[in-house]
A and B are shown apart, each in its own frame.
Chain A
Amino acid sequence: MNQFPTLTSGVICMTPATIGTGFSTRVMRFCDDTEQRWVARGQHGVFVLTFTDISGIDLANLLDFFRSVKGRFDATWTLAINSTTYSNMALDSDDFVVVEQRPNCFSLQVSCKQVVDDPQVIAGNHRQGQSS
């Protein structure tokens, strides 16, 4: 099972980082203005990890991870952040976009989420700060 890599500095990501929670509710609205709702998926973690001006070796580690999980394909990897390990993670996108703003300084964002319900996710857990 893959694990999201840490940077050479030892942290998972930089600020700002989004560590959120989400649900997946289906809504069917009918012609007579009535509706039916049901829970497709319960509480799960939603994450946006930011990397600003990281080095080539850190980028190489992240890129190796992206290639190993094949974008959105793999939904079995784990993310260890703030002393909590989130399992059954999947990337939100098949695209891995890297911008070199200054020589040898790379910036990118990684959006990912849990694909199974996880009761350890605390509602409203939205944190900004260096995450490790």
Chain B
Amino acid sequence: MIYYPQIGTNGMMVQLPFSQTFSHLTSVSELDSGPRQSYAWRPNPLKAWDLSYAALEPIEYETLLNFFLGQQGRYAEFTFLDPGGNMVPASENFADASWEKDSTVVGASVAGPFSGSVATTITGTTNGMLASTVLPGGGAIALLLCGSVYVLSPSAGALVLGFIDSGFTLLASQSCSLPANQWTRISFAATLTSLLPVRLLIGGLNSWNGPLSLFGAQVSPLGAAGAYVRTPGNYGVHSSVRFDTDPLVPQYVGPGQIALKLRLTEHA
């Protein structure tokens, strides 16, 4: 699995401003007599990203350059872990089949942390856990990921966030404190290396004794949680992405500072 590189020690993949485009493809005929006919070619939109690096250090540029050379410009395909997406397939639906549940029961819907949002009550025994595959292709090599989830606990306590592989090997974990009766977003970032698919772990390791309310589980290829992104609307693992340019045109804007603009496009 070939991943677009994280080019900084903090997991930096893009700089601001960061532009994302979601594109449907529709054929529309508007007849003079009034009727309108339309046909949607794509069930889901494809994405494109405009990456604007305002100031790269030479070593960071070299990382990007080597990756660009490896892909031979627009030719080869790679996987883009979208910093503007969420690698958890079903971020708000914990009853979804993508969530593996052990000693845990997904209960009723409750009010979420945002106006109009819907969270889910989770009950379980002391060692109950939820796990969702976030890197289905595996092959993580020193990949920085950050997992997060909103939690409402009736009493002060703790909950483990972590990453496990498909063989249940614990890759990294952290016990996160929970205040009583207050929605809190807990997050945990770790640099992972595993050839197997990677999963986000919520709970387990004797960390909690429900019930809890959960909302908005998220994994991003960043050093911090970032803005909450809902899935399945904005899934973060895009496995069919190419550069949209053949020339790579850096601009030297100062001593040891290189500016670069790149466009990546997703293909069906």
Contact = CB atoms under 8 A, between A and B. Distances in A.
Interface secondary structure of B, over-half rule: loop
B233 A95 contact: no
Contact of A70 (B17, B24, B117, B229): B24
Given A8-B116, A75-B36, A100 B18 contact: yes
B108 to A, nearest CB: 21
Contacts of A96: 21-23, 45
Contact of A56 (B20, B21, B116, B228): B228
Given A57-B228, A60-B233, A104-B226, A98 B36 contact: no
A4 to B, nearest CB: 14
A66 B24 CA distance: 9
B20 A67 contact: no
B38 A75 contact: yes
A31 interface: no
Nearest to B32: A40
A70 B22 CA distance: 10
Nearest to A96: B22
A56 B22 contact: no
Interface residues of B, number: 34
Contacts of B26: 70-73, 94
Interface in A51-86: 55-57, 59-61, 63-64, 66-67, 70-75
Contacts, number: 108
A94 B25 contact: yes
B268 interface: no
Interface in A2-51: 8, 10, 26, 38, 40-41
Nearest to A71: B24
Given A60-B234, A67-B45, A67-B233, A115 B36 contact: yes
Contacts of A61: 116
Interface of B: 16-26, 28, 30, 32, 34, 36, 38-40, 42, 44-45, 84, 114-117, 226-230, 233-234
The 6 closest A-B pairs by CB, nearest first: A71-B24, A56-B227, A60-B230, A104-B227, A73-B40, A56-B228
30 contacts: A8-B114, A55-B228, A56-B229, A57-B114, A57-B230, A59-B227, A59-B229, A60-B229, A60-B233, A60-B234, A63-B230, A63-B233, A64-B230, A67-B22, A67-B44, A70-B42, A71-B25, A71-B26, A71-B40, A71-B45, A73-B39, A73-B40, A90-B36, A94-B25, A94-B26, A95-B23, A96-B21, A96-B22, A99-B18, A99-B20
